[in-house]
Amino acid sequence: TGYTFTRPIRQHQLRTGVTWRADWASSVNNANARGTYTFTGVYAGRGADVAGGSGAGLADFLLGLPQQAALQVGGTTHLSGHEIDAFVDDTWRPHARLTVNLGLRYELVLPYTEANGRMANLDVTPDFTAAVPVPAGAAGPFSGLLPAGLVRADVNNLGPRLGLAWRAARGTVVRGGYGITYNSGSYAAIARQLAGQPPFTATNTLTGTLASPLDFATALLTPVTTTTNNWGVDPNYALGQIQTWNATLTRDLSRSWSVMLGYTGTRGRDLDILRAPNRGPLGLRIAGVQPFTWESSGGRSLLNSGTFQVRRRLAGGVSASATYTLAKSMDNASSLGSGAAVVAQNDQDLASEWARSNFDRRHQFSAQAMWELPFGTQRRWLTNGGVLAEVIGHWNLSASFTAQSGTPYTVRVAAAASDLLRGTSGTLRADYNGAPITLTDPTIGTFFNTDRKSVV
């Protein structure tokens, strides 16, 4: 629910308002009730790395020897969250050729809570040498008393707004703006993870070794005496902040033709980073604690984008436009724009995660054209109407064309034995040793230069 008040005062148009929002959700925490088994070929290969497609993974399956077995099953949870937004905005027209918009927005988003307190987090030391489960509203040995949502509310979310439009000369308009926004949707995803943790759900991840293999029939029946929570979040998690600034120059070349030159910059901070701090090349770092994913808000991003557009307004039944964009985006956030949870490859070197964003496209070109076919009322032919005009009149013919460079392609290793020993799957990426990546005669089976086989 919300309320907005608007009042004009001379050259100003003042607006102020407040919004209150409440969300409720009930779900059953059976994310992996039937269990999941991963076969990597570690046993058939006698502990050595095996190439994908060798059949070693299938051999382990036929032997009934998974390298990893996972289970997550629990009861029903009832989550609720609240958000309060307040804003003040002034649209000021000091001159007929200039409009300025100034605004300030405050967002107070409260972390989700569970009606019966059925949520649990991991309380960890700063260097991840210890991890202890802590339920909602309890005190952890390292972080102290935690709130009912297990995450302390981020209360510093002020978002200024600035915009202007200036008609510098006849047919020439300059526009610009700056603003800060916040990702208020993070708390819902965090709550769903924390609501699916022991002791309120049964979560188990077992990893076998060559010396101590798992058995397919009994792996998930093995009594668990370790900490099995597989997800934790920094209790001082901050909502992601996005700063955006832009400027455009539009110039009319004639009544029909115009050009536009624009720039957009975006800087993100406090973005999500997902880590696997309990696993290293040699296995567990924290004894008695199973592998877990750790979510924090230390990520950042930077996008710079320039755009040039030529446009023909509808005239003589024809309109068209062509746009070229040159952009570059960098980030070290785990899942920014990917829609998937991607864990940092090296938990001891998070700085190495800084790279091109997975959605980065350096060059983009698009063109559109539309032609009003000259049939029908108020057009060249059949303008007086009639049956034929109703059938073939008022049709438009349009066409579009898009060409763009590709996004970064990251080669990942899935279900590798060394990957599972880190407690995560699909995070290993191939090292680059400087050798040419492409082959002169690629085939479906061999598309890249695979001389360097080691991964980190």
In this structure, what are the phi and psi dihedrals at residue 42, rounded to the nearest 5 degrees?
Answer: -65, -30
Q: Are 159 and 180 in contact (CB under 8 A)?
A: yes
Residue that the structure tokens 């007929």 belong to: 96
Q: Is 221 exposed, middle or buried (0-12, 13-18, 19+ CB in 10 A)?
A: exposed
Identify the pLDDT of residue 414: 63
Identify the pLDDT of residue 426: 62
212: enclosing H helix or E strand = none
| Residue 129, token pair as written in the block | 């040498």
Identify the pLDDT of residue 52: 61
Distance CA 182, CA 172 (A): 33
Q: Are 337 and 357 in contact (CB under 8 A)?
A: yes
Those residues with Cβ within 8 angstroms of residue 95's Cβ, 6 or more apart along the chain or in another chain: none
Identify the pLDDT of residue 423: 45
Q: Which residues of the chain have pLDDT under 70?
A: 49-53, 224-225, 281, 334-341, 413-428, 430-433, 450-456
Sign of the Cα torsion 49, 51, 54, 59 reads positive
**Of 341, 292, 296, the residue nearest 72 (C-alpha):** 292
| Residue 82, token pair as written in the block | 């609240």
Q: Mapping DSSP to helix (H, G, I), strand (E, B) and coil, where does residue 187 land?
A: helix
Q: Are 83 and 186 in contact (CB under 8 A)?
A: no
Distance CA 370, CA 373 (A): 9
Is the link from the previous residue into 199 a cis peptide, with omega within 30 of 0? Answer: yes
**Of 245, 231, 239, 335, the residue nearest 291 (C-alpha):** 231
Q: Are 395 and 375 in contact (CB under 8 A)?
A: yes
Residue-wise DSSP of 117-162: ---EEEEE-TTSS-EEEEETTPEETTTEE--TTSS------EEEEE
Those residues with Cβ within 8 angstroms of residue 120's Cβ, 6 or more apart along the chain or in another chain: 133, 134, 135, 136, 150, 194, 197, 198, 199, 200, 229
In this structure, what are the phi and psi dihedrals at residue 239, rounded to the nearest 5 degrees?
Answer: -70, 140
**Of 272, 269, 433, the residue nearest 344 (C-alpha):** 272
Q: Is 409 exposed, middle or buried (0-12, 13-18, 19+ CB in 10 A)?
A: exposed
* Residue 231 backbone class (left: φ over 0; alpha: ψ -120 to 50; beta: rest): beta
Interval 9-19: pLDDT, tens:
999 999 999 99
Distance CA 342, CA 323 (A): 33
Maximum Cα–Cα distance across the chain: 89
